[in-house]
Structure 1
Amino acid sequence: MSDDHGGYQRTQRLSLRGPRPPPRRPHSPTSPQYDYTLSSPDRSSVLLPWQQQFDALSISPPNLSRARSEQTPRNHTPPALLPHRQTVADFSDQELLQYSGPQEAWAFPEPQIYPAGYFDTPPVSEDAHYSDVPPTPPPKSLNPSHESVASVSQSFDPRGVDAECDPIYAPPPDARASQLFTEELVSQQEREQNGILRFQAGTLPDADAEWHRLVSPEAVKTLPKKEVQRQSVLFEIVKSEKEYVSDLRVFRDVFMLPLISADPPVITPPEKLEEFIVEVFQNVEEILATHEPMLADLYERQREQHPLILGVTDIILDYVFRFQPVYDQYVKHYPISEAQHRKEVQENPAYKAFLEECSKDPGVKKRDLITFISRPVTKLPRLHLLLETLGKRSEPDNFDQENLLVILPALDHIIKATEPGIAAAEAQVKLWSFCESLVFQKAEIVDMDLYSNKRTLIKLGTLARRMRNEVDWSGWVDLTVGLLDNYLIMTRPGKQNGAKVLIVLSRPIPIGYLRIGPFELPAESRKESDRSDLDSISSEGGGGSILDSLRAPTRPVYPFMIYHAKSTDRRYTFYADSEEIRKKWKQAFVETIGIWRAEQEANKVFALEKLTDGFFRTRTALVPETTKVLFLGRITSAASFFTGGQTYLVVSCAEGIYAEVRGPHSAFRKVLDIPGADSIVALPSFKLILVQHNGTLASYSLDILARVAQGQSKVQTLKDSREVLADSGVQFFRVGVMTDRTVVAFAVKRFIQVNFQVCEAINVRANGNLSAKMFSRRQPTRFKPYSNFYVPRNAFDVILLERTIAVACEKVLVIIDPARTGREQVVVSVPDFSTVPMNEDMRSLKDRCDASRAIGFVQSGKDEFLAIFEGFGCFVTKRGAPTAVKAGFAQWEIPATDFAFRPPYILLFSNDFVEVRDVATTQLVQIIAGKDIRLAHGGPASFGPVMFAMRGEKDDQRGVSDKLVEVIETAPIPETPLTATHQDHREALWEGW
């Protein structure tokens, strides 16, 4: 009691332990113990109807201070509060009447004393507050039958029973009314608290897990509609978090952990199981570890403040920035996780049975594993939606609004950052699905590197083609066309063993060979009755079917053309369903070809260095007849060697052999008057150069040739150094190293056979000084016989291996051991089909070999070789039999005429293209385009670089030029420590982009 200013005021302050105050967080309200105060009314204001029912409920205003140092920890209990876990029933009425709340509580306005008659004309206030006292007359009695705080406050007049007798002060109510009031409050609080605890424990029925089911109907009716909606949203946030954490635990405990510990194992071998766990379940445990503490904090807030929660955004704000790393990793990989799961279900019956057993767990609730895999993907968008709704249901000055200004953009950023990753993963899954359904022609090896991390499915769609046949003259066929970043694949839907597949109709076109034809052709008409499956055309009905076909409506289709750059017969006209689709296909083709060319330019396996372009020319129609310029003609062969501290280039053409010192200001000099030499090879270690011309094979001094090229010696001196190995009938020769010997093997054509002679080069210095006169002898002095043999058929090339010699004949390769002569000599035909079972694939391969010409033979592995034919290659064992692992053939895109071997690559030469392929897989890695391409030198690397001639860039009145280029193998940029350290960062930047 107090006595101020001569008046008397009696105030009864009843403090109850309601919900605990929320923890003091940044941007969160600082609310002391709820203070239920009974005081005389302030008649200067008029309350809203729902505030009139809660006028006894005094809520301290929020403290929006941002200083974290001034905030109270979440678990801190102010000393002025009643002890935790105690209720009002634990205190006497006297203690309750005397308790006035914590010191820092904001007290309601004290009742004002006004003179008599002041309230005759009460003013009306436009603003209403929770602390305002209702102006309505109080009821005369309490109704103990009400079951909520709201119902008690509705029937209780805070002015007391003597309010009408004494308007100046309100005497305390009788003890019985106070006891009923407190008992009713405690009873309702215990019921609500029990419901919340059951909800959090998961024992509350799902139908009752709603905010309005845990609050008395009277309280719901007294609250404004907007506040009811806000409290429902707050409860839904907690509920959705509870369900989410529960599902993650089921995902881990019911599916992942039992799958890991299954005995016998569901997925084998262990390496596959480990990879599957990583691919499908990813970092679900990290996500769960992030959300479990947030759910615990939300539970605590709910227990403290239910039924009227002030807010939860301060809790979410503490955790939202922890979502970025864990969700970024999971969401971007989600499509791959789902695809791996679906694939395992289709291929592994044990895994399917395991999932059926897991579905019996009550926590699964008859949901598929895909539902649990997708839960983290939908979590953040759903949380964003709930928080947006919360912002709409909250007042503008509510502290939630300030927190939402930070939370919503943060969630937006996380969601949008994962979208490119999801799109990329979905495209990858789409690519895998497309590739796994492809069915190629039997016995054909097509290594398109489909499962590389670099592969991208640019466009996949349906296009029509006209393929006339005897059944349907119009021949409309719908094809599924896939445009990858490295190949264009044309397929036709079909079935194989009951499964849907895509049958590859034509050999895929590498992007490097893809050319775009006209895309502006006029539209054509297609009848609606045309079917894509020609086999489905029924002949039943006879004329009726024809009439139906004639009466069928038509629709326009829009044609466009593409073609293979090398094969003139591989031209394809496709029909799109609309002009827009046709434009999209054109854009896809243009962009894909452009990107492929840019990537090829930046990642060349072999680079080209121009050696000469313009010196060797051929007459054309542009050259005046009166010109006196000497046309040297096309380049036929070339060689490069190093001697005397300088590098020399020797070139053979129609007018003779020319040489120069390689350099920017060098000039060619004629060194030998030998027109159109077929082949030139330098042997720097023996100071010799070999020249094949007009059926003869001779050697010349390399040192003298170098002096002639610089004008220091006469041409005749070089001619005098000539030494003849064969004077007639030489078809070709090759140089190589066999068992540490440098040998020269050449073929001499006879009447019914081809004789091969193998000579070993001799180092003159090691055998004493030989006089210069010895160069003129007929018998070679710098070479000695090593071996000789013959083949009873035409021969086109000879390949010197480590211990054996391979001879390329019309249909096969013949392997010969030169160390054995006479009857001991072993001859093996490659491929040797006599030692393998002849199935359909082998018969197909044999037919191809019989119809083709062999051009080479190289080692592709430890005990494996690649037999090279004009149009394809096949793998054989060291004994010449086709391999079982790589049975079949790899078809080239060009008709190869020559090849060069630079491990691990082979270079295949044709008139317009050079293909670079991996020798172990035959995968196409580079395409070099040109015109009139000719291999000038392709021997082993120890005898010079690979060089080839092609049409030059000059075509004027001096004729068209011939260009000679050197093929230089590039090397990957070594990974420096800085590069290695930031490898993951580069990957992260790319994924983020």
Structure 2
Amino acid sequence: MTFEDYDRALPPWEPAVKSDEDWLLLSKKQDSDPEIDPILQTFAKHAQPRQQPFDPSQRREDSAISDIEKKASLATAIDENKVVSLGSNAEVDEQSKKIEMFELHSKLYLRPGMEQVALNLDHVGRKLIFRGDLQLMRHSTWRKTHVILLDHYLVLAQTVSRVGKGKSEVYDVFKLPIPMELLVLESTNDDPVLKSSVKGVGAVTTGAKSIVDAQNPRLNQIATNDLKSQNALEYAQSNNSMSIMSSVRNSGSAPSNDADAMLMYPFRLQHLGQSHVYTLCATSAQNRQDWCNKIVEAKTHYSTTLSKENSEPFRLRVIADSAFAYDSISASQHSVVSVKGTPLDQALREIERIYGSSRQPPRCRAEVNCAATFNYYGRSLVVIGTDYGVYISEANDPRGWARCIQISRVTQIGILEQFSICLLIADKSLIAYHLDIFIRGFDSPTLNIDSNPPVPQKLSGARDVSFFAIGRMKERTLVFYKKREGLHSTFTVLEPVFVKSSEKKSRSLFDRMRSRETTEFFREFDKFYIPTECLTINLFNEYIAISTSAGFELLTLDKKVLMAIPDLKNPAIKNIAARLANQKPLGMFRLSDLEFLLCFEEISVYVDKHGEVSRSVVMEYEGKAKAAVLYGVYLVLFNSDFVEVRNAENGRLRQVITGRDVKPLDYGISPLGANAATSQSNLPGNSTQKRTLKLAMAHPEVATSRIVLEMVLKDDDDDNSYLRPGIDPMAP
């Protein structure tokens, strides 16, 4: 059979051989129909029939195109479903958090005395960041504590079972909740603590040496020393924790499971303004790290939010970051965990941006006590008094410090630019220096310095001067300094003599040499006595306010008759009088022509111009202040661990600056009153400069260093935002 015959024979059979089933059917009919056999043989030998049929491929192509379209539609549907699911999940998560916050709000019970705490768990935006059970270590006992970390508070509570229709749990808040701005994380990696179960649940070990391997005598010695110093607590070095666990497991005095539960990992929290520190213990190092990370995260978010909202009235500027340091003994006592986003952190990052990470060696390791700023022929200069002398630098050069005067124990500095005089108390003696003496010790060739300034003048005589104050009264610039004589205080009033540098430089060399021997900076103007110990003095246009151990006393230079304010015998203010009992006065400040503020250690009282209490409310502080100053509309209170800034009119807390070893250096008070800048700007070589607050504290990132900061008031003068209320009503 030829190919042509095959082609002629194919069409009749073509429909029958399109599939394997047809081919199989023809094969079965081959025996009964002799015409089928040659056709099948021809198909088997010919190449074309053995090719795959075209229709299935076409069907697969059509199916693939359809699948691609379906898959594209399916992908779009999946993406849309994912968006809807994520939105639903976010909504469910948000609602779940709200439900959790409502449940927490219903389960938290604040004890009496905590009414002023406003947790506001039902407010929009409240977040629960972390929660869990920790052990609170107190003296020689343990207390299981449920710790709740919110976005604005940290709460310490105890889980209590409530008996009723259905058994449920509530949280008894047994410690005052800690606001986020007052929460400080003191340590994150304290050595592990061994908790003994020999004396029962809740007892801190007193004889844990018995479970420590006797083959480790050094560890036994460490444990013995710690038992004496830590009130029956045994601390183990972190790098020895594995050996401790091994020793505990190998010891026959306690089972291994119990020994595993005894190793606790502590970290410390402080509530600023409170006298105690909380030591919380986690059951594992990882759990402790989780808690510390969450606390730092919460504080960072809180600080960043305040910065974005411009809620804090002051920013910080670094005056000195490496020039002043601690000695090796006291450096380890000022550790602190730094937080990102705070004004202090922003100031440090600015210095790092300018100078990089390199640091200069310290210029002084003595105590930093005071500071002042002044202008000298167009240059803004800063001087800092220490126990080792006076140091000077340009205000915009944090690393240009040099000692200009070598003298001991400088505790107070005051500048009278109008008279080119600097007053300082050194070793309890009041001494007056000409400003040229300060500049002469400062290496700055651009400054016009007199090479023969007048010699310093000692004003006080004996070494018993506590403090001085500069003010303007009776159209005169006066200096008041206080000396203690027995049980009473003596105030001497001096008036500076107007001798300017420009006048002195015009003299001949002979006249200048003679003036150094005869010219005096001050003359005595007045003197008066106070029959008690005086703490501070505040000068006003007509009155002098003196803080004593008994309160505030007012007098004038004309009459010198003491008048105590306020009148605490008035029955209308008996509650306020009870609050003021044993309170140390810090200062009296003018709020307006009609109202003044009397500041004490823990509260402030509003009085009118006659000294009578003008409001039935008092301003409550967060802590016990050591010093106070009114700067603009803000009352700034200095504590050893933080600075508290409040609106003086309404008492609202506006800002908290945390640190260690905080010390005020300059209260930002112009010695010539409110118009000082105007009067000084008319002098040759001087320019207007507003005085600022200055403080020193331990460097948060360098253990051995001090940092000197300037509190600069922001340009935003509105006072609508605040952290928390600060005025509490007091019944008259």
Q: TM-score, normalised on structure 2?
A: 0.54
**Partner of residue 702, structure 1:** 435
Contact kept? 1:858, 1:866, Cα under 8 Å: yes
For 2:530, which of 771, 774, 791 is the aligned residue?
Answer: 791
Contact kept? 1:559, 1:573, Cα under 8 Å: no
Task: Say if 1:967 and 1:527 are closer, same or farther in 2 by CA, change over 3 A.
Answer: same
Contact kept? 2:134, 2:280, Cα under 8 Å: no
**Partner of residue 721, structure 2:** none
**Partner of residue 641, structure 1:** 374
For 2:122 and 2:595, locate their aligned partners in 1 and report how far apart those are by CA, in whole Å: 24
**Partner of residue 691, structure 1:** 424
Task: Say if 1:938 and 1:502 are closer, same or farther in 2 by CA, change over 3 A.
Answer: same
For 1:816, which of 547, 550, 554 is the aligned residue?
Answer: 554
What RMSD, in angstroms, separates the aligned Cα atoms of the two structures?
Answer: 5.7
Contact kept? 1:638, 1:649, Cα under 8 Å: yes
1:641 to partner: Cα distance? 1.0
Question: Does residue 968 of the first structure (1) align with residue 712 of the second (2)?
Answer: yes
Q: Which amino acid counterpart does residue 693 of structure 2 have in structure 1? A: V
Contact kept? 1:643, 1:703, Cα under 8 Å: no
**Partner of residue 586, structure 2:** 855
- The structure with the largest alpha-carbon Rg is 1
1:717 to partner: Cα distance? 1.4
For 1:741 and 1:455, locate their aligned partners in 2 and report how far apart those are by CA, in whole Å: 57
Matches within 5 A, 1:155-234: none
Question: Does residue 611 of the first structure (1) align with residue 336 of the second (2)?
Answer: no
Question: Does residue 873 of the first structure (1) align with residue 603 of the second (2)?
Answer: yes
Secondary structure of the residue that 2:453 maps to in structure 1? helix
Task: Say if 1:864 and 1:612 are closer, same or farther in 2 by CA, change over 3 A.
Answer: same
Task: Say if 1:459 and 1:696 are closer, same or farther in 2 by CA, change over 3 A.
Answer: same
Identical columns (%): 18
Contact kept? 1:512, 1:927, Cα under 8 Å: no
For 2:466 and 2:666, locate their aligned partners in 1 and report how far apart those are by CA, in whole Å: 16
For 1:514, which of 139, 164, 185 is the aligned residue?
Answer: 185
For 2:96 and 2:174, locate their aligned partners in 1 and report how far apart those are by CA, in whole Å: 27
Task: Say if 1:716 and 1:656 are closer, same or farther in 2 by CA, change over 3 A.
Answer: farther
For 1:719, which of 455, 459, 462 is the aligned residue?
Answer: 455
For 1:926 and 1:761, locate their aligned partners in 2 and report how far apart those are by CA, in whole Å: 39
Contact kept? 1:696, 1:726, Cα under 8 Å: yes
For 2:402 and 2:191, locate their aligned partners in 1 and report how far apart those are by CA, in whole Å: 52
For 1:745, which of 476, 480, 490 is the aligned residue?
Answer: 480
Matches within 5 A, 1:280-295: none
**Partner of residue 175, structure 2:** 505
Contact kept? 1:809, 1:854, Cα under 8 Å: yes
For 2:282 and 2:365, locate their aligned partners in 1 and report how far apart those are by CA, in whole Å: 51
Task: Say if 1:432 and 1:885 are closer, same or farther in 2 by CA, change over 3 A.
Answer: farther
Task: Say if 1:700 and 1:794 are closer, same or farther in 2 by CA, change over 3 A.
Answer: same
**Partner of residue 338, structure 1:** none
Deviation string for 1:927-984 (max 9, x for gaps)? 33245x433222416673222344569999xxx665433333345599xxxxxxxxxx
Q: Which amino acid counterpart does residue 487 of structure 1 have in structure 2? A: Y
Question: Does residue 927 of the first structure (1) align with residue 657 of the second (2)?
Answer: yes
Task: Say if 1:758 and 1:828 are closer, same or farther in 2 by CA, change over 3 A.
Answer: farther
Secondary structure of the residue that 2:455 maps to in structure 1? helix
**Partner of residue 207, structure 2:** none
**Partner of residue 268, structure 1:** none
The size of the alignment, in residue pairs, is: 515
Matches within 5 A, 1:773-792: 785=525, 789-792=528-531
1:747 to partner: Cα distance? 1.4
Contact kept? 1:483, 1:489, Cα under 8 Å: yes
Q: TM-score, normalised on structure 1?
A: 0.42
Q: Which amino acid counterpart does residue 178 of structure 2 have in structure 1? A: P
**Partner of residue 351, structure 2:** none
Task: Say if 1:574 and 1:433 are closer, same or farther in 2 by CA, change over 3 A.
Answer: farther
Deviation string for 1:542-586 (max 9, x for gaps)? xxxxxxxxxxxx9x899664434477843344689x999988756
**Partner of residue 563, structure 1:** 268
1:515 to partner: Cα distance? 3.7
Deviation string for 1:184-206 (max 9, x for gaps)? xxxxxxxxxxxxxxxxxxxxxxx
For 2:290 and 2:391, locate their aligned partners in 1 and report how far apart those are by CA, in whole Å: 54
1:427 to partner: Cα distance? 6.7
For 2:407, which of 674, 688, 691 is the aligned residue?
Answer: 674
Contact kept? 2:659, 2:698, Cα under 8 Å: no
1:647 to partner: Cα distance? 1.2
1:694 to partner: Cα distance? 3.5
1:478 to partner: Cα distance? 6.7
Matches within 5 A, 1:872-911: 872-878=602-608, 885-887=616-618, 889-892=620-623, 896-911=625-640
Contact kept? 2:590, 2:596, Cα under 8 Å: yes
Contact kept? 1:736, 1:940, Cα under 8 Å: no
**Partner of residue 320, structure 1:** none
Secondary structure of the residue that 1:589 maps to in structure 2? helix
**Partner of residue 29, structure 1:** none
Secondary structure of the residue that 1:513 maps to in structure 2? strand
For 1:414 and 1:968, locate their aligned partners in 2 and report how far apart those are by CA, in whole Å: 45
1:732 to partner: Cα distance? 0.2
Matches within 5 A, 1:319-398: none
Deviation string for 1:92-136 (max 9, x for gaps)? xxxxxxxxxxxxxxxxxxxxxxxxxxxxxxxxxxxxxxxxxxxxx
Deviation string for 1:719-765 (max 9, x for gaps)? 26x48477763210123456986543321212221123455667668
Matches within 5 A, 1:13-24: none
Contact kept? 2:158, 2:172, Cα under 8 Å: yes
Contact kept? 1:564, 1:571, Cα under 8 Å: yes
For 1:528 and 1:655, locate their aligned partners in 2 and report how far apart those are by CA, in whole Å: 55
Q: Which amino acid counterpart does residue 612 of structure 1 have in structure 2? A: A
1:440 to partner: Cα distance? 5.1
Q: Which amino acid counterpart does residue 795 of structure 1 have in structure 2? A: C
Task: Choose between structure 1 and 2: higher strand proportion.
Answer: 2
For 2:119 and 2:479, locate their aligned partners in 1 and report how far apart those are by CA, in whole Å: 38
Q: Which amino acid counterpart does residue 967 of structure 1 have in structure 2? A: M
Contact kept? 2:642, 2:656, Cα under 8 Å: no
**Partner of residue 394, structure 1:** none
Task: Say if 1:668 and 1:481 are closer, same or farther in 2 by CA, change over 3 A.
Answer: closer
Contact kept? 2:404, 2:440, Cα under 8 Å: no
Contact kept? 2:423, 2:432, Cα under 8 Å: yes
Deviation string for 1:362-400 (max 9, x for gaps)? xxxxxxxxxxxxxxxxxxxxxxxxxxxxxxxxxxx9xxx
Q: Which amino acid counterpart does residue 464 of structure 2 have in structure 1? A: G
For 1:896 and 1:587, locate their aligned partners in 2 and report how far apart those are by CA, in whole Å: 31
Secondary structure of the residue that 1:940 maps to in structure 2? coil
**Partner of residue 297, structure 2:** 591
1:457 to partner: Cα distance? 4.3
**Partner of residue 70, structure 1:** none
**Partner of residue 735, structure 1:** 470
Task: Say if 1:744 and 1:483 are closer, same or farther in 2 by CA, change over 3 A.
Answer: farther
Contact kept? 1:445, 1:888, Cα under 8 Å: no
For 1:484, which of 150, 161, 164 is the aligned residue?
Answer: 150
Q: Which amino acid counterpart does residue 608 of structure 1 have in structure 2? A: L
For 2:559 and 2:633, locate their aligned partners in 1 and report how far apart those are by CA, in whole Å: 33
Task: Choose between structure 1 and 2: higher helix proportion.
Answer: 1
Task: Say if 1:829 and 1:422 are closer, same or farther in 2 by CA, change over 3 A.
Answer: same
Matches within 5 A, 1:401-412: none
**Partner of residue 243, structure 1:** none
Secondary structure of the residue that 2:129 maps to in structure 1? strand
1:813 to partner: Cα distance? 3.0
Task: Say if 1:779 and 1:729 are closer, same or farther in 2 by CA, change over 3 A.
Answer: farther
Consecutive unaligned residues of structure 2, counting only runs of 5 or more, are 1-69, 162-169, 203-257, 331-361, 671-675, 677-689, 719-732
